Amino acid sequence: MTTPKKGSGGPKVPGRSGGKTAGRDSSLKVHVKTAHKRSHSSTLWLERQLNDPYVARARAEGWRTRAAYKLIEIDERYKLLKPGQKIVDLGAAPGGWAQYAAKQVGVLEGKGAARGQVIGIDLLEIEPLAGVEFAVMDFLEEDAPERLRAMMAADGSDGRVDGVLSDMAANATGHRQTDHLRIVHLAELAVEFAREVLKPGGFFVAKVLQGGTEGNLLSVLKRDFTTVRHVKPKASRADSAELYVLATGFRGDN
């Protein structure tokens, strides 16, 4: 995902019993030697990827990225995504969240069934995904909410959406507090966008990093939503400061 700016017969959504893979035998851990011209940090990242059970599951089950499991786990717990809903995914590349959302809301359903709509927004072009519309757009542009609603209004509705998803992360600096502040600010900007496009009763999910100010974001969200909480899915690495804010029951203009 670029900042300031995630099909048909799609992947099988794993049930709760599908978590066995995550308990991978530590004796099978892969160790990677530092190759010529590969930095130590790159070697550590590669080693972590090779030993990450969610990376293996994503590959086996057909998800574009391991990040899909974060949304899967949040949705399984809080039942956010339903057939017929309209969903926008901010910072959507490479498409994992949009891929799962599309399956849940039924973007490919036929006549007589509730057919949903998913639009993914990113500065990057994204490989096509059946039933999902990807738009190369900066959600920070002043007319972005209006453009998004116009895209969602093809069915004659006002174009408002049921949910706004954001797995965006600002480009890392390596300084923990700076990265925390930048991602929280990005989430705050996503909230402003959500206010312009959500229908009453809608929900908002966004990634943040722990660091001291994430609580302030919850306070901001409580003005517009009936229920606000932090969530840490099991698919978020245990050693990561990553959290998600989940806000439901958008109050709208009232």
Name the pTM for this structure: 0.81
Average pLDDT over residues 237-251: 92
CB contact set of 204 (below 8 Å; sequence gap of 6+): 163, 164, 166, 190, 191, 194, 198, 221, 225, 245, 246, 247, 248, 250
Average pLDDT over residues 36-61: 66
For residue 181, count CB atoms less than 10 angstroms from its CB and return exposed for 0-12, middle for 13-18, buried for 19 or more. Answer: middle
C-alpha distances out from residue 130 to 23, 72, 81, 139, Å: 32, 19, 18, 23
Catalytic residue among 207, 222, 232, 234: 207
216 burial via Cβ count (<10 Å: 0-12, 13-18, 19+): exposed
Per-residue pLDDT reduced to its tens digit, 158-209: 999 999 999 998 888 888 899 999 999 999 999 999 999 999 999 999 999 9
Highest mean pLDDT: which range of 191-200, 215-224, 237-246: 191-200
Q: Where are the alpha helices (DSSP H) in the chain?
A: 40-50, 53-61, 68-78, 96-105, 144-152, 176-197, 214-222
207 classed as catalytic: yes
Please name each of the domains of the chain with its CATH number.
17-51 (no CATH), 68-250 (3.40.50.150)
Question: What secondary structure letter does DSSP report for 16?
Answer: G
Q: Is 62 helix (H, G, I), strand (E, B) or coil?
A: coil
Cα separation, 22 vs 38, in Å, equals 28
Structure tokens at 100: 């799962």
Nearest to residue 217, comparing CAs of 238, 247, 175, 253?
Answer: 247
Reply yes or no on whether the pLDDT at 72 is more than 90: yes
